[in-house]
A and B are shown apart, each in its own frame.
Chain A
Amino acid sequence: MSGAMQDFATHPTNWLVILPVVLALLGGAVLLMLREAREAQFWLALGIVAVIFVSDIALALRVSETGPVAMTMGRWLPPFGISFVADLTSAVFALAAAGVTLLLLVYLRMDMPDRARRDGVYPLILLLLAGVSGSFLTGDLFNLYVWFEVMLISSFGLMVLGGRNIQLDGTVKYGFLNFLATTFFLAALGLLYGTLGTLNMADIVGRAGLANPAVMTSIAALLLLAFGMKAAAFPVNAWLPASYHAPPAAISALLAGLLTKVGVYALLRALVMLLPASREVLEPVLVLVAIGTLILGPLGAIAETNLRRALGFLVIGGIGATIAGAALGNATGLAGSVTYVLHAMLTISGLYLVAGLLEAISGETDTRRMGGVYAAASLPSLLFFVLMLAVAGVPPFLGFWPKLLLVQGGIEGWGFGRDGWALTLWLAVLANALLTLIAVSRLWAHIFWRPGHEGAATEAPNPDLKPLSPQVRWLGLGSAGVLTLVVLLLGLWPEPLLGFGKDAAAGLLRPANYIVATGLEGAAP
Chain B
Amino acid sequence: MNSLIFRTIAPLLVAVMLVFSVFVLLRGHNEPGGGFIGGLIAASALAIYGMAMGVDAARTALKVHPLAYAGFGVALAALAGVLSILFDVPFLTGLWTIFELDEVEVAISTPMVFDIGVYFVVFGTIAAVALALEDEEGGA
User: A and B: real partners?
Assistant: yes
Q: Which of A21-80 contact B (CB under 8 A)?
A: 22, 25-26, 28-33, 35, 71-75
Q: Does B68 make an interface contact (CB < 8 A)?
A: yes
Q: Does B62 make an interface contact (CB < 8 A)?
A: no
Contacts known (A35-B65, A35-B68); A29 close to B89, Cβ less than 8 A: no
Binary interface encoding of chain A residues 8-19 relative to chain B, with 1 for a CB under 8 A from any of its CBs, else 0: 011010110010
Are the CB atoms of A75 and B89 closer together than 8 Å?
Answer: yes
Q: Does A123 make an interface contact (CB < 8 A)?
A: yes
Are the CB atoms of B75 and A72 closer together than 8 Å?
Answer: no
Q: Which of B1-9, B23-31, B53-61, B78-86 contacts A (4 or more CB under 8 A)?
A: B78-86
Are the CB atoms of A73 and B90 closer together than 8 Å?
Answer: yes
CB-based closest 8 A-B pairs: A32-B71, A29-B74, A29-B75, A9-B88, A33-B71, A75-B93, A29-B71, A73-B92
Q: Does A120 make an interface contact (CB < 8 A)?
A: yes
Are the CB atoms of A25 and B74 closer together than 8 Å?
Answer: yes
Q: How far is B92's CA from A84's CA once the two chains are assembled, in angstroms?
A: 12
Q: Does B70 make an interface contact (CB < 8 A)?
A: yes
Q: Does B94 make an interface contact (CB < 8 A)?
A: yes
Q: Can you list 26 A-B pairs, Cβ within 8 angstroms, ordered by A?
A: A6-B89, A9-B89, A18-B91, A22-B82, A25-B78, A26-B74, A26-B75, A26-B78, A26-B82, A28-B74, A29-B71, A29-B72, A29-B73, A29-B74, A29-B75, A30-B75, A32-B68, A33-B64, A33-B72, A71-B91, A73-B81, A74-B91, A74-B92, A74-B94, A75-B93, A75-B94
Contacts known (A10-B89, A35-B65); A22 close to B81, Cβ less than 8 A: yes
Chain A contact residue count (CB 8 A cutoff)? 26
Q: Does B113 make an interface contact (CB < 8 A)?
A: no
Return the chain B residue nearest A9 by Cβ. B88
Measured between beta carbons, the chain A residues less than 8 angstroms from B94 are: 74-75
Measured between beta carbons, the chain B residues less than 8 angstroms from A74 are: 90-94
Measured between beta carbons, the chain B residues less than 8 angstroms from A10 are: 88-90
Measured between beta carbons, the chain B residues less than 8 angstroms from A35 are: 64-65, 67-68
Measured between beta carbons, the chain A residues less than 8 angstroms from B74 are: 25-26, 28-29, 32
Return the chain A residue nearest B74 by Cβ. A29
Are the CB atoms of B78 and A22 closer together than 8 Å?
Answer: yes
Measured between beta carbons, the chain B residues less than 8 angstroms from A25 are: 74, 78
Are the CB atoms of B71 and A72 closer together than 8 Å?
Answer: no
Q: How far is B70's CA from A137's CA once the two chains are assembled, in angstroms?
A: 25
Are the CB atoms of B68 and A12 closer together than 8 Å?
Answer: no
Are the CB atoms of A72 and B90 closer together than 8 Å?
Answer: yes
Q: How far is B85's CA from A26's CA once the two chains are assembled, in angstroms?
A: 15
Return the chain A residue nearest B85 by Cβ. A15
| Inter-chain pairs besides A15-B91, A30-B75, A33-B71, 5 sampled, C-beta below 8 Å | A22-B91, A25-B74, A26-B74, A26-B78, A33-B64
Instruction: Give the B-binding residues of A (Cβ under 8 A).
Output: 6, 9-10, 12, 14-15, 18, 22, 25-26, 28-33, 35, 71-75, 81, 84, 120, 123
Measured between beta carbons, the chain A residues less than 8 angstroms from B91 are: 15, 18, 22, 71, 73-74, 84
Q: Which of B81-126 contact A (CB under 8 A)?
A: 81-82, 85, 88-94
Instruction: Give the A-binding residues of B (Cβ under 8 A).
Output: 64-65, 67-68, 70-75, 78-79, 81-82, 85, 88-94
Are the CB atoms of B75 and A75 closer together than 8 Å?
Answer: no
Return the chain B residue nearest A71 by Cβ. B90
Measured between beta carbons, the chain A residues less than 8 angstroms from B70 are: 32
- Give, as a whole number of angstroms, the nearest-CB distance from A72 to chain B: 6
Measured between beta carbons, the chain A residues less than 8 angstroms from B90 are: 6, 10, 14, 71-75, 81
- Give, as a whole number of angstroms, the nearest-CB distance from A164 to chain B: 18
Q: How far is B81's CA from A18's CA once the two chains are assembled, in angstroms?
A: 11
B64, B73, B75: residue with the most chain A Cβ atoms closer than 10 Å: B75
Are the CB atoms of B68 and A26 closer together than 8 Å?
Answer: no
Return the chain A residue nearest B94 by Cβ. A74
Measured between beta carbons, the chain A residues less than 8 angstroms from B65 are: 35
Q: How far is B89's CA from A465's CA once the two chains are assembled, in angstroms?
A: 60
Measured between beta carbons, the chain B residues less than 8 angstroms from A71 are: 90-91
- Give, as a whole number of angstroms, the nearest-CB distance from A163 to chain B: 12
- Give, as a whole number of angstroms, the nearest-CB distance from B127 to chain A: 13
Are the CB atoms of B89 and A31 closer together than 8 Å?
Answer: no
- Give, as a whole number of angstroms, the nearest-CB distance from A158 to chain B: 15
Q: How far is B28's CA from A52's CA once the two chains are assembled, in angstroms?
A: 35
Contacts known (A22-B82, A26-B79, A75-B93); A120 close to B67, Cβ less than 8 A: yes
Are the CB atoms of B92 and A33 closer together than 8 Å?
Answer: no
Q: How far is B98's CA from A187's CA once the two chains are assembled, in angstroms?
A: 42
Q: How far is B93's CA from A15's CA once the two chains are assembled, in angstroms?
A: 13
Q: How far is B89's CA from A407's CA once the two chains are assembled, in angstroms?
A: 47
Return the chain B residue nearest A11 by Cβ. B88
Measured between beta carbons, the chain A residues less than 8 angstroms from B71 are: 28-33, 123
Q: How far is B82's CA from A22's CA once the two chains are assembled, in angstroms?
A: 8
Q: How far is B10's CA from A103's CA once the two chains are assembled, in angstroms?
A: 50
Contacts known (A15-B91, A74-B92, A74-B93); A33 close to B85, Cβ less than 8 A: no
Q: How far is B72's CA from A75's CA once the two chains are assembled, in angstroms?
A: 26
A10, A32, A123: residue with the most chain B Cβ atoms closer than 10 Å: A32
Q: How far is B95's CA from A75's CA once the two chains are assembled, in angstroms?
A: 11
- Give, as a whole number of angstroms, the nearest-CB distance from B91 to chain A: 5
Return the chain A residue nearest B82 by Cβ. A22
Q: How far is B77's CA from A32's CA once the two chains are assembled, in angstroms?
A: 14
Measured between beta carbons, the chain B residues less than 8 angstroms from A15 are: 85, 91
Measured between beta carbons, the chain B residues less than 8 angstroms from A72 are: 90
Q: How far is B67's CA from A26's CA once the two chains are assembled, in angstroms?
A: 14
Measured between beta carbons, the chain A residues less than 8 angstroms from B67 are: 32, 35, 120
Measured between beta carbons, the chain B residues less than 8 angstroms from A30 are: 71, 75
Measured between beta carbons, the chain A residues less than 8 angstroms from B73 are: 29
Q: How far is B76's CA from A210's CA once the two chains are assembled, in angstroms?
A: 43
B70, B73, B89, B92: residue with the most chain A Cβ atoms closer than 10 Å: B92
Q: How far is B79's CA from A73's CA once the two chains are assembled, in angstroms?
A: 14
